[in-house]
Chain A
């Protein structure tokens, strides 16, 4: 279990440990707990939530152990060496000689995301203990939440694509169940359906992409590495081996990316994510901001070499990923300005941040993008939980900033403090965590030559600062309004989020803790809610220092622990060491001064011997000048937004109020944003409606009238022919003949009837007469 690195001339022995070797246990714990909750939850004193929280603690401990041992493993290895992942696999099923495994693939990325998921899940479950207290489906809620964690953790440790798909779809299911948690309201269940359906549309890509890659890679991976073409290790190495044909890997990468677009809410399939806010706030916080929605990003980061080659990342021109990421950043950020629902602001912010991650990955900034997953999870979860805290304790379950909030900083100091810290982190203000990840993405995107997208990123940073300022202003400053001021709207019960309230009406839970709040007025939430907030805010503040570039290489721990080295390795995963016997490392042709280590051929050329597991990537050196520029942009966004907010909401300045109605250009833009670029109209009203109504109706018409018509027609025709045959042939010809025979017989019968006198003597006479004639004939014939 302790670091034990032995370096010999040709190989490096890496340390391992129990937790690393048994990382597959991590998803199993919540999975078992899910069944415990389902079968015994209702009978437990805490209605099953104890299973959920305990299992998440267990998963967190295991994930922590695995992370610790992974760090040991990295620290024990020589500088820059490739740290082979801890891979385990068992046969899950076999089909015509191909065996599909289930197991674990643990490397830096895995442990980082495992840790995040287990950690946020734990906090959110604790938070939910208070937030959902008294909910009529309390047990169901914890069951779904726990199953979600199992699915996500399974996806993260997945050894192969099939296992990944398993986790991916389980998450989709839980997302469906949790968004539709209060399904009595039609709006919630529609949002749930939309989320599932949209991500499922993306999953077409996941299925086809996996198929394409499997059949293209299987031969090579089986021969070289002895693993199937589903294996993540196999796919990564295969992509960089020079074996794949251009078309196959490009198609595969595009297909997989479509899945990522669906799951990670990228343009143009992002529309489900804001609607998903219909779910309870802890769900939004866990699934729809910090963990599940990064699954798409994770997928790209997981099999990065496939995208690296397939999309020609660093190939000099813009690629599919970076373009989608860039578009997403801006369009989502703009949408955030017209939202009045605090959760929708955060939802669009999430979409925008996911755009950053995608753009980073598309531009070769793998490490900053992954680091952004890490930091974003903390501050965005914190923001959502903060929003939940407000609605829970102050605004009477409303999320309407304009109507029901305002001036809350005095009533909710802890929520306000954590909110501000997280907001600063989100905006990327030094030294909050967002700065070290988001700024790095922008910086590296520019460094890798994607200048346009660097400006897109900076514009995004400006917009982020501005809309977050607006949201913060509306929520915490100004005068309390609506529910926060103690009013109780009648119409609230029609609000989708207020479905929460209605539960008492259904009579399942006798006590309704919520009504108590109304009379109390705005106040700070209980410790089950504030403690997770404080923890998350602390991490939002501090987690950036894991990879704080400005402070020198000593602070670049995340890079050291997580980023795989682009070394040429032999197929067993052990690095060839320079100068060793049979050495295969090709001396770098264009040694890059900027990147800390020498350039390996991985990604750009085909290794002559051995395989690569990761492409060689560049890292932009940190420059205060660039950082200062982006800080200024953020500051500008902050100030401008603050100015507008004060004019608009505080002073009700005539120049600003109603501007969108007066100015045509602005009015058009506003209308476009309010209608969400009409994408929902396109999807729901045009595509889905046309499939669900006219097209399916047409198909059904075809089925009933044409196909069934043919069948029925055949039946009717056959019946018609039969009738004709019966009338004309059977009745006239055949039956005629039969009847003819009959009438002949009848005639003969009536003719002969007198013979049948009924008198025995006559019969006797006839008999003997006939016999006599017979005898006579006999005599004549014989003579």
Chain B
């Protein structure tokens, strides 16, 4: 099916994203992985939207893109500050929140 390809693509991207989030220590890479996850969701939404002939999916996708942009903006700013303070963006060193 025409849809399946999209779904498989999305699943692959998602997995890559999850891997990146869990395994990478570099904060910038983690952020990019999150982008991947979000975009994989977007692909899914658009695919089902095309299939069902409804515009809801598009709307959601656009919304997520906007949110993602904001999120990356904030995230990068944080990373920048982190770097400025610690000269490092290694996430393993950031364990002040430990309970």
Contact = CB atoms under 8 A, between A and B. Distances in A.
Q: Are A and B in contact, CB atoms below 8 Å, in the complex?
A: yes
Interface of A: 752-761, 764-765, 768
Nearest to A761: B22
B95 interface: yes
Contacts of B98: 756-758
A759 B21 CA distance: 11
B99 A756 contact: yes
Interface string B4-32: 00000000000000100111110000100
B30 A761 contact: yes
B30 A760 contact: yes
Interface string B84-98: 000000011011111
Contacts of A764: 18, 21-22, 30
A622 to B, nearest CB: 128
A761 B23 CA distance: 7
- Kindly list the 5 A-B residue pairs having the minimum CB-CB distance in the complex, ordered from nearest: A756-B99, A758-B95, A758-B98, A758-B97, A764-B21
Interface residues of B, number: 15
B22 A765 contact: yes
A729 to B, nearest CB: 36
A753 B23 CA distance: 22
Contacts of A752: 99
A756 B23 CA distance: 18
Nearest to B30: A760
Interface in B54-99: 91-92, 94-99
B70 to A, nearest CB: 19
B18 A768 contact: yes
A768 B95 contact: no
B91 A760 contact: yes
A753 B99 contact: yes
Contacts of A765: 21-22
Most chain A Cβ neighbours within 10 Å, of B92, B94, B96, B99: B99
Given A761-B22, A768-B18, 15 more contacts: A752-B99, A754-B99, A756-B97, A756-B99, A757-B95, A758-B94, A758-B95, A758-B98, A759-B95, A760-B91, A761-B92, A764-B21, A764-B22, A765-B21, A768-B22
B22 A759 contact: no
A760 B24 CA distance: 10
B95 A761 contact: no
B99 A761 contact: no
A588 to B, nearest CB: 124
B94 A755 contact: no
Nearest to A760: B91
A315 B30 CA distance: 128
A757 B93 CA distance: 11
A760 B97 CA distance: 10
Contacts of B97: 756, 758
A170 to B, nearest CB: 91
Contacts of B30: 760-761, 764
A559 B25 CA distance: 135
Contacts of A754: 99
B91 A755 contact: no
B99 A768 contact: no
A765 B21 CA distance: 8
Given A760-B30, A760-B94, A755 B99 contact: yes
Contacts of B95: 757-759
Contacts of B24: 761
B73 to A, nearest CB: 18
27 contacts: A752-B99, A753-B99, A754-B99, A755-B99, A756-B99, A757-B95, A757-B98, A758-B94, A758-B95, A758-B96, A758-B97, A758-B98, A758-B99, A759-B92, A759-B94, A759-B95, A760-B91, A761-B21, A761-B23, A761-B30, A761-B91, A761-B92, A764-B18, A764-B21, A764-B30, A765-B22, A768-B18
Nearest to A766: B22
A130 B69 CA distance: 114
B40 to A, nearest CB: 13
Given A760-B91, A761-B30, A761-B91, A768 B96 contact: no
B97 to A, nearest CB: 4
B7 to A, nearest CB: 14
Contacts of A757: 95, 98-99
A733 to B, nearest CB: 32
